[in-house]
Structure 1
Amino acid sequence: MAHHIIELIAQYGLLLVFVNVLVEQAGVPVPAVPTMIVAGALASMERLPLTGVAAAAVLACLLADYAWYAAGRYFGGSVMRTLCRISLSPDSCVRQSELRFQKWRGSILLLAKFVPGLSTVAPPLVGAMGLRTAPFILFDGLGSLMWVGTAVSLGYIFANQIDAVLMALANAGSVALMFIGCLLALYIIVKWWQRHHLMRTLRMARITVEELNDVVNNGGNPVIVDVRSDGARLVDARVIPGALLADINSIERIADTVPPDTELVLYCTCPNEYSAALVAKALMLRGYKRVRPLLGGLDAWDAAGYPVHRMSVAEEVVVSHAV
Structure 2
Amino acid sequence: MAPPLPGPLAHLAPLLGHYGYWAVGVGVFVEDFGVPAPGETILIAAAIYAGAGQLNIVAVAVIAFVAAVAGDNVGYLIGRSGGRAFVHRWGRYVFLTPERFHKAELFFRRHGGGIVTVARFIEGLRQANGIIAGTSGMPWLRFLAFNTLGAALWVGLWATLAYVAGTHITTLYDEITRYQLYALIAFGVLAATLIARRVLKRRHQN
Query: What TM-score, normalized to structure 1?
Result: 0.44
Q: Residue 139 and residue 20 in structure 1: after superposition, are their counterparts in 2 closer, same or farther (change >3 A)?
A: same
The equivalent of 2:49 in structure 1 is: 42
Structure 2, unpaired ranges of 5+: 170-206
Structure number with the higher strand fraction is 1
Q: Which runs of 4+ in 1 moved over 6 A?
A: none
Query: Is the Cα contact below 8 Å between 2:88 and 2:98 reproduced in 1?
Result: no
User: Residue by residue, what CA displacement relative to the aligned partner does 1:16-59 show, whole Å, maximum 9, x if unpaired?
Assistant: 21122123224232212232222212323344222211110111
Residue 66 of structure 1 is aligned with which of 61, 70, 73? 73
The equivalent of 2:186 in structure 1 is: none
Q: Is 1:150 matched with 2:157?
A: yes
Query: Is the Cα contact below 8 Å between 1:80 and 1:125 reproduced in 2?
Result: no
SS in 2 for 1:30: coil
Query: Is the Cα contact below 8 Å between 2:29 and 2:70 reproduced in 1?
Result: yes
Larger radius of gyration: 1
| Percent identity of equivalent pairs | 29
Superposition map of 1:1-323 within 5 A: 2=4, 9=16, 12-82=19-89, 85-86=92-93, 90=97, 92-159=99-166, 161=168
Structure number with the higher helix fraction is 2
The equivalent of 2:202 in structure 1 is: none
SS in 2 for 1:115: coil
Query: Is the Cα contact below 8 Å between 1:17 and 1:36 reproduced in 2?
Result: yes
Q: 2:30 and 2:165 mapped to 1: Cα distance? A: 26
Amino acid at match of 1:90: T
Query: Is the Cα contact below 8 Å between 1:84 and 1:90 reproduced in 2?
Result: yes
Structure 1, unpaired ranges of 5+: 163-323
Q: How many residues were matched structurally?
A: 162
User: Residue by residue, what CA displacement relative to the aligned partner does 1:143-202 show, whole Å, maximum 9, x if unpaired?
Assistant: 12222223212311212547xxxxxxxxxxxxxxxxxxxxxxxxxxxxxxxxxxxxxxxx
Q: C-alpha displacement at 1:112, in angstroms?
A: 1.5
Query: Is the Cα contact below 8 Å between 1:40 and 1:152 reproduced in 2?
Result: yes
Amino acid at match of 1:24: E
Q: 2:13 and 2:104 mapped to 1: Cα distance? A: 37
Q: 1:39 and 1:121 mapped to 2: Cα distance? A: 24
CA RMSD of aligned residues (A): 2.9
Higher RCO (CA < 8 A, seq sep 6+)? 2
Q: Residue 35 and residue 95 in structure 1: after superposition, are their counterparts in 2 closer, same or farther (change >3 A)?
A: closer
Query: Is the Cα contact below 8 Å between 2:21 and 2:63 reproduced in 1?
Result: yes
Amino acid at match of 2:84: G
SS in 1 for 2:34: coil
Q: Residue 79 and residue 111 in structure 1: after superposition, are their counterparts in 2 closer, same or farther (change >3 A)?
A: farther
Q: 1:148 and 1:140 mapped to 2: Cα distance? A: 12
Q: Residue 28 and residue 7 in structure 1: after superposition, are their counterparts in 2 closer, same or farther (change >3 A)?
A: closer
Q: C-alpha displacement at 1:8, in angstroms?
A: 6.4
Query: Is the Cα contact below 8 Å between 2:65 and 2:152 reproduced in 1?
Result: yes
Query: Is the Cα contact below 8 Å between 1:111 and 1:143 reproduced in 2?
Result: yes
User: Residue by residue, what CA displacement relative to the aligned partner does 1:259-310 show, whole Å, maximum 9, x if unpaired?
Assistant: xxxxxxxxxxxxxxxxxxxxxxxxxxxxxxxxxxxxxxxxxxxxxxxxxxxx
Q: 1:96 and 1:12 mapped to 2: Cα distance? A: 36
Amino acid at match of 1:44: G
